[in-house]
Chain A
Amino acid sequence: MSFFSYLYAVLFYCATVTMVVGVGRKIRIYAKTPAPLKIPTTPAPTTRSGVVGRMIREVVFFESLFKSSKWTWLFGWAFHFGLLLALIRHLRYFTEPVWSWVAFLQSAGVYAGYAMVFGLLGLWGRRLLVDRVRYISAPSDHLMLALILGIAGSGLLMKYIWHTDVVALKTFALGLLWFDWAPLPDDPILLIHLGLVICLMFVFPISKLLHVPGLFFSPTRNQADDPRERRHYPGAA
């Protein structure tokens, strides 16, 4: 096995542990911190099941963003939906035999890469061109876009131009999963692609990617509007 095979294997384990522990720690903090007062943004559902519906609409359709800015919604939704499909498509590297629904979504997964790039470029364009959004952007906001665009772009390049040995790659991935290490093909483009993914996993718990768990804990969205009907106890979650 090559040096890179060992290096990437070790990095993948470290990145996974960092991400899981880091995000887990944040989730624990969010869950433990009390929500002493009722602050749903109204009109809000009056029941728990209504709240579940509201959260699903936020997570799946980005309901609030849709109300807010149609362009940001279009780019943001295209990116996230593309990301989801791309992630599903990548499951084929970790399953043997490949789950049938994953196989079924393979062809759609190809377009996912384009949707991601389209969305990311749109979002970056707004960040650069709209004076208000440019004003609120820190270097880290641009870097994050660059990082994810790099991942999506290198992925598309592998698909269409510099093919890599996907069979060997799958052996490497399954090897990571079952602690039975196998060599990683040493195509530069693959190393770049995976290297960027590892970076993303490392920064996940210390960056704005925390919006993923954050959304589920946002009291303005996840509380039911029932303060008269049900007494909310101070210190309660």
Chain B
Amino acid sequence: MKKVEFDIPVITNHPVTPSIEPGAMAHVKPFVAKQAHQEPLGFPGELVEDWHDRAIAKMGELLGKYRSLVVFMDSCVKCGACTDKCHYFLGTSDPKNMPVARQDLMRKVYRRYFTFAGKYFPKLVGAVDLTREVLEEWYSYYHQCSECRRCSVYCPYGIDTAEVTMAGREILASVGIGQKYSNEIIGKVHKIGNNLGLPEKALVDTLIDLEEEVKDDTDVDVRFPLDVKGADVLLITPSADFFAEPHVDGLIGYAKVFHQAGISWTLSSHASEAANFGLFIGSQDNMQKVAMRIREAALELGVKRIIVGECGHAWRVAYSYWNTLIGPFDFLDPKYPAPQHICESTYNLIQQGALKFNKEENDDKIVTFHDSCNVSRASRMGNMPGGQFVIPREIIKAACNHFVDMREDSIKEGTFCCGGGGGLLTDDLVELRVKGASPRVQALHEVIEQHGVTHMAAICAICKSQFTKVLPYYDMNMDMIISVHQLVGDALELGVEQ
């Protein structure tokens, strides 16, 4: 156990909705971006002098740019249906972490400056002026939202707090108060091509090491190709896959699948990152710029397909936005969806009988599956709605004998965020991350008690990193969290005649 300065939520046998504790998380906020992290993204280096007017102007601009924002600002009836749906509220009891209250931080200001009622009867409708205090509060609570969209599932008008959070962050960054963690990372992608700032040379070495490792393990020459022109498939995967545990075992899994299915593939050093933190900070310009490297790489390498590795928000950006931001993909093979998720690809190969598994390899595990928010509620896999729930589970079941699901309201479209999504996966927010993970940990605890679950598989780099970090706070083993493609890789029979 680590030394901690905050109370870790008590994990009970049944889910509980806490009573509100105003101000419980008011002290939590991430580090503010320095000039060097702001300017490369096109934001001012520090709080600008006319921040008030600029913030209101920016808000007006966004209200005219995003239908979601203007409709959501007007439509909430304060029914309270979302109030017990956010994992950060459930884990912290701070009422400002209830989705509607988080929206209200902006709605109060919207009403004051943009509506009749708020201009003339501010007290009546709870409208307030934009002050430094309000700005501070925005900074704190818009960085206590992982943009997971769980609230939007349950709101009768589909109000998605993530959209409000993104707008809040964009306004903040545009007056000079950006978030260090996300903005620093985006800067690295713009400059080097991945979140880690991993240069090409290091990438080459890592891939060679991986080839040797797999060779030692299996005696089979599984390749990890980089920048191979004319390969069929360009694999875009989160850079965490290149060396962090448990991610890297997922990458090994993909490589084994490609090897076994005889698919020619390559990674790209120009676009060595699937993650796109431009989404998190609500900046469409940065999101597009980050994604554009992928189009460039695909054209440069002359590939026929693009496959995206295990990552949640990256899949949202790829699935929902790429076509708009960096499409059309008319240069790719129309027989395959563009882009395609690695799970879709592996699932199809399983369906075709192209992969054989020795499921006993995973018999030491009883596995459950953590649906990642952005895959569940902001994208799809396969041809039918909800394919994103079926396909990963079918893959797991093909590779393992023992699989159980967690409580129904904690999976699929109702899945709880890991607590580290949306640009919050940083050490300066550990308290928030640990507390925010508690609803997921509680549901996991239930299946551990009832079914002896030993591992939780995930298909998101952020989820994997987050759980590795926070599970120990709950006296759970950090190795419990694994990649779906680790299960695949471990059980896949290599080199056998099909």
Report B-chain residues with C-beta under 8 Å of the C-beta of A34: 65-67
The CB with the most chain A CB atoms within 10 A, among B101, B156, B385, is that of B156
A143 to B78, CA, bound (A): 13
Query: Which of B72, B79, B379, B383 has the largest count of A CB atoms less than 10 A from its CB?
Result: B79
B123 proximity list for chain A (CB < 8 A): 139
Number of interface residues of B (CB under 8 A): 73
Residue of B nearest to A227 (CB): B320
Measured CA separation A91–B321 after assembly (Å): 47
Query: B100: CB under 8 A from chain A?
Result: yes
A214 pairs with B157, CB closer than 8 A = yes
Most B CB contacts (10 A, CB to CB) among A37, A38, A237 go to A37
For the complex, give the distance between the alpha carbons of A136 and B80 in Å: 8
B475 to chain A minimum Cβ distance, whole angstroms, is 30
Q: From residue A110, how far is it (CB to closest CB) to chain B in Å?
A: 27
Which A residues touch B124, using CB under 8 A? Answer: 138-140, 143
A3 within 8 A of B: no
Complex formed: what's the CA distance from A145 to B466 in Å?
Answer: 43
In the complex, the answer to whether B68 meets A35 with C-beta atoms within 8 Å is yes
User: Complex formed: what's the CA distance from A194 to B314 in Å?
Assistant: 55
Judged by a CB distance under 8 angstroms, whether B77 is at the interface is yes
A29 near B70 with CB under 8 A, answer: yes
B324 with A132: CB separation less than 8 A: no
* Chain B neighbourhood of A208, CB < 8 A: 74-78
Q: A64 to B154, Cβ gap below 8 A?
A: yes
- Whether the pair B67, A42 counts as a contact (CB closer than 8 A) is no
Q: Verify A33–B65 contact, CB threshold 8 A.
A: yes
Encoded as 1 (CB less than 8 Å from any A CB) or 0, chain B from 319 to 344 comes to: 11101110110000000011100000
Chain A interface SS verdict (over half): helix
Q: Are B75 and A62 in contact (CB under 8 A)?
A: no
* B47 within 8 Å of A (CB atoms): no
Q: How far is the CA of A62 from the CA of B79 in the complex (A)?
A: 13
Q: How many of chain A's residues have a CB under 8 angstroms from any CB in B? A: 62
Could you mark each residue 217-237 of chain A with 1 if its beta carbon is under 8 Å from any beta carbon of chain B, else 0?
A: 111110001011001111001
User: What per-residue 1/0 map shows which CB atoms of B8-25 lie under 8 Å from chain A?
Assistant: 000000000101101000
| The one of B66, B117, B152, B319 that contacts A228, using a Cβ cutoff of 8 Å | B319
A140 to chain B: which residues have CB within 8 Å?
117, 124-126
Q: Decide if A234 touches B324 in the complex (CB within 8 Å).
A: yes
Q: A132-B80, A138-B124 are in contact. Are A39 and B68 (CB under 8 A)?
A: yes
Cβ of A33 and Cβ of B378 under 8 Å apart?
Answer: no
Binds A, one of B158-166, B176-184, B217-225: B158-166
Top 4 A-B pairs, shortest CB-CB distance: A214-B75, A133-B80, A68-B154, A138-B126
By a beta-carbon cutoff of 8 Å, the part of chain B in contact with chain A is: 17, 19-20, 22, 63-68, 70-72, 74-85, 95, 98, 100-101, 104, 115-117, 123-126, 149, 152-160, 163, 284, 319-321, 323-325, 327-328, 337-339, 376-380, 383-386, 388-389, 413-414
